[in-house]
Amino acid sequence: MTASAPITQDVMTIPRKLPEGPVNLVGLTRPQMREALIAAGTPEKQAKMRVGQIWQWIYHWGVRDFDAMTNLSKAYRAELAEKFVVAVPDVVTRQVSDDGTRKYLVRIAGGHEVEIVYIPEEDRGTLCVSSQVGCTLTCSFCHTGTQKLVRNLTAAEIVGQIMVARDDLGEWPEPGTGSGESGPRLLSNIVLMGMGEPLYNFDSVRDAMKIAMDSEGISLSRRRITLSTSGVVPEIARTADEIGCMLAISFHATTDEVRDKLVPINKRWNIEELLGALAAYPKASNSERITFEYVMLDGVNDSDDDARRLIDHIKRHKIPAKINLIPFNEWPGAPYKRSSNNRIRAFADIIYKAGYASPIRTPRGEDIMAACGQLKSATERARKSRAQIEAEVKAG
């Protein structure tokens, strides 16, 4: 297990002196943007108002060019253009699946690449956002977990993924009009289920999601944002307090013996500790249930006994829960197979009869390797061999 200590940053204090080169305004919290504007010469008295105006241009209307920010004076716009940029990740490739799923490979500072997936549905559209390049955790069924290179994404790079998708969907409202919250949105939901463990990049994820939720910004409801974690127990309560979004847990096994192998962070915080943190989750209620994600692996975690144990865990701890069964998405060299459809249905049936919703997640975008757990940037070729992965799984 290679879990590192949670990484934290002091987000409220940036010096009133600008670093060399233009500063990216994307991803700054409102207080941070205010500080940055003051450091660049904006009078303190005006700074709050300027933040409001610039914020609206950037996040409400998707404008990147200061010159188009027409409620600011020409001179001020020129000043801003000298000291700041409004930068989002560069799109390297864009693939569209037969089922309409879109996958973007974007490049960020340092030449790193991450993937973003947009999944259109009848009445909504979900963007699957990445929080890290790769992942320090090594869940044995997950393609991202085989990627060696890892760095945390900045808040700018996280919120930038949403902006890039809105660009591609052509979804920014006309400047001067509302934020578009009245009609249905193409991008209506966000899931932090792309590459990386969001709770190992807590502060940047929080700042980015605050911008996504800001009513003068992208203006998505907190109930339309779901953060998925493998079970970083000490950070779970903070998710409710500081972000307030919905929570999903990569549960995947019902005994510590099996979960230690599938989700190695279990060796640090085991099933009972995880269930304790979920039972105490401040936001959980019948209307805001915690999603238990459960990947169906043939002969590994998919028995009737597993289904019964899963229900028992949830009931024993009285956790308001829904269970999402995910047919395993295979990737080259993966050491597991997907459970048969009959097995998945039988498993779902036990859960359903126990009184829980048990939707089976339809794999989307498989033809472009965009399904859950298949993401891994194409340029990061330092992939472990199949033999290496199998050896690690056996060694547990």
Residue whose tokens read 């259109």: 120
Q: Does 42 interact with ligand SF4 (rule: CB under 6 A)? A: no
Extended beta strands in the chain, E state: 23-24, 84-85, 90-96, 102-107, 113-120, 125-128, 132-133, 151-152, 189-192, 225-229, 246-250, 290-296, 321-327
Smallest distance, Å, CB 250 to ligand SF4?
6
Smallest distance, Å, CB 365 to ligand SF4?
17
324 makes contact, choosing from ligand SAH, ligand SF4, none, with CB < 5 to 8 Å by partner type, with none
Instruction: Give the residue among 14, 171, 162, 29 at the shortest CA–CA distance from 88.
Output: 162
What residues from 316 to 345 belong to the interface with ligand SF4 (CB under 6 A)?
A: none
Q: Does 250 interact with ligand SF4 (rule: CB under 6 A)? A: yes
Instruction: Give the residue among 181, 166, 170 at the shortest CA–CA distance from 116.
Output: 166
Q: Is 115 a catalytic residue?
A: yes
Catalytically annotated residue among 128, 157, 372, 380 = 372
295 makes contact, choosing from ligand SAH, ligand SF4, none, with CB < 5 to 8 Å by partner type, with ligand SAH
> What is the token pair recorded at 19?
């670093």
**Closer residue to ligand SF4 (CB): 37 or 225:** 225
Q: Does 199 interact with ligand SF4 (rule: CB under 6 A)? A: no
326 makes contact, choosing from ligand SF4, ligand SAH, none, with CB < 5 to 8 Å by partner type, with ligand SAH
Q: Is 372 a catalytic residue?
A: yes
266 makes contact, choosing from ligand SAH, ligand SF4, none, with CB < 5 to 8 Å by partner type, with none
Smallest distance, Å, CB 139 to ligand SAH?
6
CA distance 343 to 84: 56
**Closer residue to ligand SF4 (CB): 74 or 381:** 381
**Closer residue to ligand SAH (CB): 108 or 248:** 248
Q: Are 131 and 153 in contact (CB under 8 A)?
A: yes
328 makes contact, choosing from ligand SAH, ligand SF4, none, with CB < 5 to 8 Å by partner type, with ligand SAH
277 makes contact, choosing from ligand SF4, ligand SAH, none, with CB < 5 to 8 Å by partner type, with none
What are residue 186's phi and psi, to 5 degrees?
Answer: -70, -45
Smallest distance, Å, CB 331 to ligand SF4?
11
**Closer residue to ligand SF4 (CB): 197 or 235:** 197
Q: Are 102 and 168 in contact (CB under 8 A)?
A: yes
- Complete DSSP assignment for 157-169: HHHHHHHHHHHHH
CA-based end-to-end distance of the chain: 10
CA distance 216 to 367: 37
What residues from 130 to 189 belong to the interface with ligand SF4 (CB under 6 A)?
A: 135, 137-139, 142, 144-145
Binding site for ligand SAH (CB under 6 A): 139, 141-142, 193, 197, 228-230, 250, 293, 295, 326, 328-329, 372-373
Q: Are 218 and 162 in contact (CB under 8 A)?
A: yes
> What is the token pair recorded at 366?
């498989």
CA distance 113 to 35: 30
How far CA 164 is from CA of 161, 246, 384, in Å, comes to 5, 23, 31
**Closer residue to ligand SF4 (CB): 137 or 297:** 137
Instruction: Give the residue among 224, 214, 155 at the shortest CA–CA distance from 179.
Output: 214
372 makes contact, choosing from ligand SF4, ligand SAH, none, with CB < 5 to 8 Å by partner type, with ligand SAH
Smallest distance, Å, CB 39 to ligand SF4?
36
What residues from 200 to 239 belong to the interface with ligand SF4 (CB under 6 A)?
A: 230
Catalytically annotated residue among 35, 113, 115, 380 = 115
Q: Are 329 and 372 in contact (CB under 8 A)?
A: yes
**Closer residue to ligand SF4 (CB): 62 or 327:** 327
Q: Which residues are catalytic?
A: 115, 372
Q: Residues in the site for ligand SF4, rule: CB under 6 A?
A: 135, 137-139, 142, 144-145, 196-197, 230, 250
